[in-house]
Structure 1
């Protein structure tokens, strides 16, 4: 790129990903279509790039114009097609014979939080995450960077109606546990030997009443009274860990 040239906006519907972990994971994902790569000389030399993908060598300042608010791109930016939709029924079928937890997010819209929860879902071997399509962030570089590569391999299902999705999840044999600070039981007391579906509400507002009504049980994390609540992504990580290590 010539110095001072501002790249054109991304094509409609195509997210841009940046940072070494997010880009490396996308390049390694056979389900991901890469449309363009921009990078510094050193960053490009360190990657195994598909020969058919257009590649533009760029300076650090030029890359900063490709990402929002000069995000930490680490010398590499790619433009990609969004991943194919995953159907809830297919995901539930995949997890039919195991006890891996499923994570459901009720109107969690912050892309940093969703990305962090994708990362935790990968770390603790969750079956996947489920969000409502109108009240969750789209695929983006922010989600991908916070997920540290997990966006490429943790199944992310988007549904139209979360209540109906919870009905389907319950019919598939999952015990739907809604996390809320007002619950009487702790998460450890509710997990038992269930196939847990952990339901998390938006930070601040928590779960909507209709979402709570579609849970089998409500539970809380036993945090100190000196702290009112946890960030939703931190709470999700703790809940997924608890589901992983239960007896």
Structure 2
């Protein structure tokens, strides 16, 4: 490489670094999110504190975010810049938004709800995101998870939830068994799914408040959780396979619970 070539190579590197410096977070509490449904839900969530939105021309025409964010916080950008920042494996759909994390909710906010999901150490953000998506689809109002062994708010979790993360309360607790006791005091019946449960799921519902409890794949529910819930229930599965992916199990259980609660016009 000639000195002239080296000079221009350095200039190109400096230019790329300068362009990517735009993506430095405003502060440590900010998270970058991407994907059409995820960003659309964030823009419509009044609880969100949004800093910046980078968007391609095509995505702008589809999303039309002009009325949802100030002009000073919006920048139209080329798709290749988003790909360079996020990586070629990320499906960003031409949209990237910077926002602060949502303020954590607590159990006291659940007294007015009728259907919630409780996750016992489900760690995979793809599973939790898929569960959130099903929960919103079937009218559940919150997902409760353990503080230590559950995914934190992140782009992967939100992208898998396909917008549901901003449509449902995500509550983490230090002691899940104590949280279940609190739910009982609020009038919830806690129904835990277990492949060896003594009761069929659709015969296990009663009352007008249900909390569906699911454990991590492999190890399932912890002993203390099994002892604390109102009832252990199983699916009626006539086939050879008796276990489902936790997100699939959640979707079936949510449908069953929603169908039961409809008789109360809930």
Which residue of 64, 85, 99 corresponds with 1:47?
Answer: 64
Which residue of 86, 95, 98 corresponds with 1:79?
Answer: 98
Equivalent positions of 1:135-146 (< 5 A) are 135-146=149-160
Q: How many pairs align? A: 241
Which residue of 44, 67, 78 corresponds with 1:59?
Answer: 78
Deviation at 1:63, TM superposition (A): 1.0
Write 1 or 2 for the structure with the bigger share of helix. 2
Aligned counterparts of 1:27 and 1:44: Cα–Cα separation in 2: 13
In structure 2, what is the equivalent of residue 124 of structure 1? 138
Cα 1:173–1:68, aligned 2, differ >3 Å: closer, same or farther?
farther
- Cα RMSD (Å) of the superposition? 2.0
Question: Higher Cα Rg: structure 1 or 2?
Answer: 2
Deviation at 1:135, TM superposition (A): 1.3
Contact 2:121–2:149 (Cα < 8 Å) also in 1: yes
> Secondary structure of 1:15's partner?
strand
Q: Which moved more, 1:103-112 or 1:153-162?
A: 153-162
Aligned counterparts of 2:217 and 2:171: Cα–Cα separation in 1: 20
Q: After the TM superposition, which parts of structure 1 deviate over 6 Å for at least 4 consecutive aligned residues?
A: none
Deviations 1:8-29 (A, max 9, x none): 5544232211111110110011
Contact 2:120–2:215 (Cα < 8 Å) also in 1: yes
Aligned counterparts of 2:133 and 2:99: Cα–Cα separation in 1: 20
Aligned counterparts of 1:9 and 1:179: Cα–Cα separation in 2: 43
Which residue of 177, 181, 198 corresponds with 1:163?
Answer: 177
Which residue of 195, 205, 208 corresponds with 1:191?
Answer: 205
Q: Structure 1: which 5+ runs fail to align? A: none
TM-score normalised by length of structure 2: 0.84
In structure 1, what is the equivalent of residue 167 of structure 2? 153
Aligned counterparts of 1:65 and 1:169: Cα–Cα separation in 2: 46
Equivalent positions of 1:1-247 (< 5 A) are 5-7=19-21, 8=23, 10=25, 11-45=27-61, 46-49=63-66, 50-51=69-70, 53-67=72-86, 70-92=89-111, 94-95=112-113, 100-246=114-260
Q: Which moved more, 1:12-21 or 1:229-238?
A: 12-21
Aligned counterparts of 2:209 and 2:176: Cα–Cα separation in 1: 19
Contact 2:191–2:212 (Cα < 8 Å) also in 1: yes
Q: Structure 2: which 5+ runs fail to align? A: 1-14
Cα 1:53–1:223, aligned 2, differ >3 Å: closer, same or farther?
farther
